[in-house]
Structure formats: C-alpha cells, structure tokens
Amino acid sequence: MYPQASSPTKRLVPAMICLLVALPGCGKPSETARDNRRLYDAILTAVTLKNPTELAKDEKLLEARHADGSLSDSAYQAVTAAIAKARGGLWTEAEKDLYKFRDENPFPR
C-alpha cells in the first residue's frame, strides 16, 4: 500500500502542527497601539459626556502623539474632525463618528 513514514517524519509533523497553532498568539500589539486606543476612548468619553475641558486635554495629547509620529495622519484627521464637530456643538454627530472610528479600528489584543 502506502510507504511507512520514517521516524524523523513522524516527529516532525506533530512539531510543525504545534508551531502553527502557537504562532497566531505571538503577534501582540505594540504599546503605541494600546496607548492610541486609550486616547481614542478618552476622547470618546469626553465627547459622550459633553465635557469641553477634558476634550481640550485629550486633544493636546492627540496633537502630541501625532507630532511625535505615534499616530497616523489618517487617524489624526478622523479624530480631529470629530473633535471639531463637538467644538461646534454637534456632540451627537461627533460621538457617532468616534464610535464608527472605534469600530473600524478595534482594540488591539
């Protein structure tokens, strides 16, 4: 019938299977990604609570993270657009935009 697998092959296959099962857990998000997500959530909280003081603090942090390269241009633009809506009194629209942004950028695991 079929030839028998040699002894090294018998050991290699289970080892490869274990490696393939373990690899997906190795790709943890960076601390930068986690910090950005915490900041997005803080901004969302400030907007939800309609708290301009906290929003101003969070906006400064957002600008600093963008300036030091920790935050992408696209993320910065999306979040600052929502902040501008909130500053213009469109708190509900800003909140919806931030929830949409959060859904499109899930929390790193």
AA identity, residue 88? G
What is the Cα–Cα distance from 58 to 56, expressed in whole angstroms? 5
**Residue owning tokens 């018998």:** 10
25-52 residue pLDDT tens: 556 778 999 999 999 999 999 999 999 9
**Residue owning tokens 């935009």:** 97
Q: Provide the residue ranges of all domains of the chain, joining segments of one domain with +.
A: 32-104
pTM greater than the 0.75 cutoff: no
61's tokens: 């942090």
Share the mean pLDDT of the chain: 85
- The average pLDDT across 92-103 equals 97
The torsion region of residue 55 among left (phi > 0), alpha (psi -120 to 50) and beta comes to alpha
